[in-house]
Structure 1
Amino acid sequence: MTRRSVSHIASLVLLPSLALSMAACSNTPPPPEPLTQEALAAVKDTPGAPKEQLARQIDEVFTAPGVGETRAMVVMHGGTIAAERYAAGYDAETKFVSWSMAKTVTAVMIGMLVADGRLRLDDSPPLPRWQRPGDPRGEITLRQLLQMRSGLRHTEAGNPPYESSEVRMLFLDGRDDMADWATAQPLEAEPGAQFEYSSNTTVILADIAARVLTDSNDPETRRRAVDDYLQTRLFGPVGMDSMVPEYDASGTLIGGSLIHGTARDWAKFGEFLRNKGSVRGAQLIPRTWIDFMRKPSPRSEFYGAQTWLNRDSGLDRDDQLQDRGPSTMFAAIGHMGQYVLVSPDQKLTVVRLGHSDTEQRKAMLQELLDVVELYPAR
């Protein structure tokens, strides 16, 4: 055998190992796993964004490690459903708890009562306890309550948890008459001077609504008055037929925490907000009220009126995370990762419902924003 033949054979033997060595040194990422039929089926034919990319990003919201349990997701673009997916055991008929997304619903109800001329933003609300001579809480205005700057001693998160104002109001000594418990708390700051997120404050707003809708103290009468108003003025016209609000024993809407509805109906609510209160040409609430809900509070750039804003990481309540997405995006947000993200500039509403703890929510929100960023601004 010639020297040339030996050299040729050696090169053939070494070629596979050389190729493996070159591949190991390459920075080229491996191709993505093929999408499952479930992932592809979740996206409509014309979703307004690249279909396969959208399917993959939504799949990440459900399957990525460290994001918690996503149970439902709906993406609406330009008024139609672009994508919809549910985890096993959940479907389009499942009613999901709002947690604090209910706050944004309560703000809309208050706005309708203001538009009706039954409440005024800069007046002290009709709460008898606060109207007694010399009570400093009589200086609190409806606007300040909506913007979470009442000055009341409401501590949302306590350590231990059972000492928080929210837990005490919802589950302990305040549970039978939540508004009575919330309005009884003293001032810890001058009204209007500082921002403090508070579910107690939103229950006060719900109680104010009941007081202007009926003179009765009968719990069933109060419940029926608010329920009828919500159904007639908001849920019915918007087509949110699944919505089930909860009330306490005194007939007060638990307006900071407990309204149940399907993922599609939460998406319809987002679209109602995106369209500034207009539904099929009917203006259900003045456009200026939605603008007010989206305007930063004087004491917080990341919060409007019962609504989270995409400023200073308001969407994730964590100033350690970088803001992403349009600055005009806003949201209704609930405990454990309930989101209705609304982006008017992209004609987009994204709903995610599920169960994520604090650390998981950080990762989950980044996955949601990957979905948002697939859509161009108009």
Structure 2
Amino acid sequence: MRTLPPLIAALALLPALASCSSHPEPPPPLTKEALAAVKDDPGAPTEQLAREVDDLFSKDDLGETRALVVMHGGRIAAERYAPGYGPDTRFVSWSMAKTVTATMIGMLIADGRLTLDEPPPIPRWRRPGDPRGEITLRQLLQMRSGLRHTESGDVPYESSEVRMLLLDGRDDMATFAESQPLEAEPGAKFEYSSNTTVILADIATRALTASTDPDTRRAAVADYLHTRLFGPLGMTSIVPEFDRSGTLIGGSLMHATARDWARFGEFLRNKGSYRGTQIVPRRWIEFMITPSPRRGNYGAQTWLNRDPPEGDDPLFANRGPKNLFAMIGHMGQYVLVAPDRKLTVVRLGHSDADERRALMPQLADVVALYPGR
């Protein structure tokens, strides 16, 4: 067999070597829609921010992003909606509502109507010999009440939350949640529980009215929230839901526009202050974002971007920032707040568990565009 001279053989390999060392294809040009989502002076490189936002709407493995609002320094830096949605669309909170409920509890404590480290005013727990009488408001807020609960089961009807929201507990959710026995000593362990937040909503209602009439209970909480919280924040779109007994479904059902969810995130970022008015004491917001004794990445009805248990990180603690905290709702509802970056990011949509695992690094990329102090 005839062989090529070494020099000729080497030259013959050059095209193949060149293809191996070539740079990856540059990303496609940004569309007008992608660029239009970013406002003037967004606080981050415009094209990079536009591309990150566009990826949230276009990548197939992230689920469906329906709304995104990025606020920097109190101004909208980027905003975009999927077809069929817009600035006036109300989006369901799911568990983001928990943080709103905790804020209401803090306001009632500041008003002197509740006490953090005393048993709350739940009559059935105050009967002589009932061990649930030792549960404190602080323990409820930090999801360590010890009450029997299963947030999600192998089949839906095994879930305590599903039973409360949709089955035998739906007409009087607070009674269903408060009737559960203890399965652990109060304060001893963390267990995420939507039912616990309904208990908090019932406690707030009892602090505002002694009436058992559903309409009176509903009106007392709705008036308080709108007069003391939503009105001052300019959250004109928000609609809280109540059950048939007049209890706020404070763990999962509030509806508001993406901009109003961003307003609430900004209010938290500013430690309970809005446009110079201190609506909730600063120390209460600081309590909400302080790790609880039994869970490093959870405060009081609020998720923290730090110290997650092994394999259980709903945010992106490995990438920081450590002071980032979040309101998180079922199927991929997020209000991310990074105080050191003057940043609030709202993402609303529909993503399953696998899609949310892919979604979090993408949201982390948005946060990373903004340098911390």
- Alignment TM-score, normalising by the size of structure 1: 0.93
What's the counterpart of residue 230 of structure 2? 235
Task: Decide which of 151, 159, 167 is 1:172's aligned counterpart.
Answer: 167
Q: C-alpha offsets along residues 109-160 of structure 1, whole Å, 9 cap, x if unaligned?
A: 0000000000000010000000000000000000000000000001101121
1-structure distance, mates of 2:316, 2:280: 34
Q: Deviations over 1:260-283 (max 9, x none)?
A: 000000000000000000011100
Segments ≥4 residues shifted beyond 4 Å: 17-20, 319-322
* Structure 1 residues 321 and 274: CA distance shift in structure 2, 3 A: closer
Kept in 2: contact 1:274–1:344 (CA 8 A): yes
Q: How does 1:56-71 map to 2 (within 5 A)?
A: 56-71=51-66
Distance 1:143 1:320 in 2: 24
Describe how 1:29-48 pairs up with structure 2 within 5 A.
29-48=24-43
Q: Which amino acid aligns with 1:98?
A: S
Report the CA distance between 1:325 and its aligned residue: 2.5
Question: What secondary structure does 1:66 align onto?
Answer: helix
Instruction: Report the Cα distance in structure 2 between the residues aligned to 1:330 and 1:320, rounded to whole angstroms.
Output: 9
Please report how far the alpha carbon of residue 221 of structure 1 lies from its aligned counterpart in structure 2 after TM superposition.
0.5
**Contact map agreement 2:315 2:360 (CA 8 A) in 1:** no
* Aligned counterpart, 1:224: 219
Equivalent-residue separation in structure 2 for 1:241 and 1:229 (angstroms) = 14
Question: Could you say which residue in structure 1 is the equivalent of 2:197?
Answer: 202
| Structure 2 residue 127 is matched with structure 1 residue 128 | no
* d(CA) in 2 for partners of 1:334, 1:158: 18
Letter in 1 for 2:138: R
Give the fraction of aligned pairs with identical amino acids, expressed as a percent.
73
CA distance in 2, matches of 1:124, 1:317: 31
Contact 1:312 1:319 in 2 (8 A): no
In 2: Cα distance, 1:213 partner to 1:219 partner:
13
Q: Give the letter aligned to residue 212 of structure 1.
A: A
Shift of 1:18: 7.3
Q: What RMSD, in angstroms, separates the aligned Cα atoms of the two structures?
A: 1.8
* CA spacing shift, 1:23–1:266, aligned 2, 3 Å: farther
Superposed, 1:165-314 pairs within 5 Å as: 165-313=160-308
Please tell me whether Structure 1 or Structure 2 has the larger radius of gyration of its CA atoms: 1
Deviations 1:78-116 (A, max 9, x none): 000000000000000000000000000000000000000
Any gaps of 5 or more consecutive residues in structure 1?
1-10
- Local SS of the residue matching 1:365: helix
Q: Distance in 1 between matches of 2:367 and 2:69?
A: 12
SS in 1 for 2:109: helix
The TM-score normalised by the length of structure 2 is: 0.95
- 1:325 and 1:372 in contact (8 A); partners too: no
The 2-side partners of 1:275 and 1:79 are apart by 10
1:351 equivalent among 338, 341, 346:
346
Kindly state the Cα deviation for residue 323 of structure 1 after the two structures are TM-superposed: 2.2
For residues 9-158 of structure 1, the aligned pairs below 5 Å read 21-158=16-153
Change (3 A) 1:320 1:58: closer
Structure 2 residue matching 1:256: 3-state secondary structure: coil
Return closer, same or farther for 1:244/1:367 CA change in 2, 3 Å cut-off. Answer: same
Alpha-carbon separation, structure 2, partners of 1:64 and 1:21:
32
Aligned pairs, number: 364
Contact residue 313 and residue 321 of structure 1 kept, 8 A? no
Q: Is the 8 A contact 2:142 2:292 kept in 1?
A: yes
8 A contact 2:99–2:301 mirrored in 1: yes
Matches of 1:376 and 1:152, distance apart in 2: 42
- Give 1:300's aligned amino acid: R
What is the DSSP-based 3-state SS (H/G/I as helix, E as strand, rest coil) of the residue aligned with 1:153?
coil
Q: For residues 152 and 326 of structure 1, do their structure 2 counterparts lie closer, same or farther at Cα, with a shift above 3 Å needed?
A: same
| Structure 1 counterpart of 2:370, from 346, 354, 375 | 375
Shift of 1:22: 4.2
SS of structure 2 residue aligned to 1:73: strand
